[in-house]
Structure 1
């Protein structure tokens, strides 16, 4: 079948059946050989992803997996290859529903720029707080906390259950949908930007008491470009918080405070620091 494809030039994409492979189809593309970066390599590499994704869309595929094209024997610098892949895939996903996997075989393939890595590390060093409380202080605070909780419990018993239910705040689902409307966004625009699939978003929309994972909640805060206070409010509706003693939280706060809502770049940073990724 490959002989009948008529060849495949750099940047083009052709498709064949998967045969004995655990895939229905195999999309073939040829990446550029790295010379010096000024010979049009970036455009050719972007075309590899764009044309392959359009081929997958044409054949109504629901998912596709890519290696990091040209980063091996073709000598394309890994950080630049990664940036090109994420840019092309991200642009496609903002307009199309498809699950796209970018397969990397080690953390060295998934490198942040030195400038961004250093900036995040400095932010963490300046703001990260380890929760280490000496035993005698912890005991003292525990005693105070018990007293305060006891007083609160007495107060709460004076309220009826109906009163409590009537005064509940918006749930995560309700607040999310309200924010989408307030910002004039479409549902599809929001969940694609959050790197969330349509099925999960449908569950959230149809169940006002749906409790998302923290990674999903954060992804929507990023997609909606909420500031730090707004993000904390949205996360709080799902029972989560952003803490200065949690590395994952500190990285998220770094990007929000720097008004950087590129979910793919955020995930690059999370991966570099060995944290869970957000979105799908």
Structure 2
């Protein structure tokens, strides 16, 4: 259903609007708390299971190359940087949600940024990766970044990275060719933490293809942009619930990345468990609000 198809004669439901506003305020609190938690987790000491990072780098790093002197440590530090970025965009999202003005575009764009940062941190911190695979993935990200900075052209930096990869017989990592694949890869795996309930995934985030819609909005797709900007005036409940789901998407991406890094580095589980429980509470209430909006307008909106 598009904005133009909505029945403009339906007045806003004050009770429903109030309930959604309360959920948005709760999302602000969870986002701020989560942002600080992501920041703290990003500063934890790097750990490679069964391997001394310093010894590995001294044996396999290239001292003559500034960017390849400590490949394994750099891989872990890149994961930390990505989680730090996720935390900061999550905090920015909370600031936007807490604003008296109803912003239409920025919540989605910030949620998308949080998802990308989180996906890279999540993949780099996979406990199932070997030290070599972790180095290969990190260097792939670096190589892509250097090439993008050079407008897609190979240069001495990318050549050097490729030589290190070839010297050690490493293959190109999977699921890194496109950002959407990287984000999607977070939702095809169960949580590895043995203390978690089996199958603990918020499937509504996977099913609704949030990343594609957020990307369209971030790239000024006229259809998505028009819906986002115009719907607060014509379908205010719908607009608010969309923003709520965007916030939950960013929250859950950040949680998954932090939980994985925390697991790899042996951090305390209680704070992240509390974050997860808060997200689940928001999800359950958000689903009810979404169903209420669909019921009011007697249509199934494209969320």
The structure with more helix, counted as a fraction of residues: 2
Please report the TM-score for the alignment, with normalisation by the length of structure 2.
0.24
Structure with the greater relative contact order (CA < 8 A, sep ≥ 6): 1 or 2? 2
Larger Rg over CA atoms: 1
Please report the TM-score for the alignment, with normalisation by the length of structure 1.
0.26
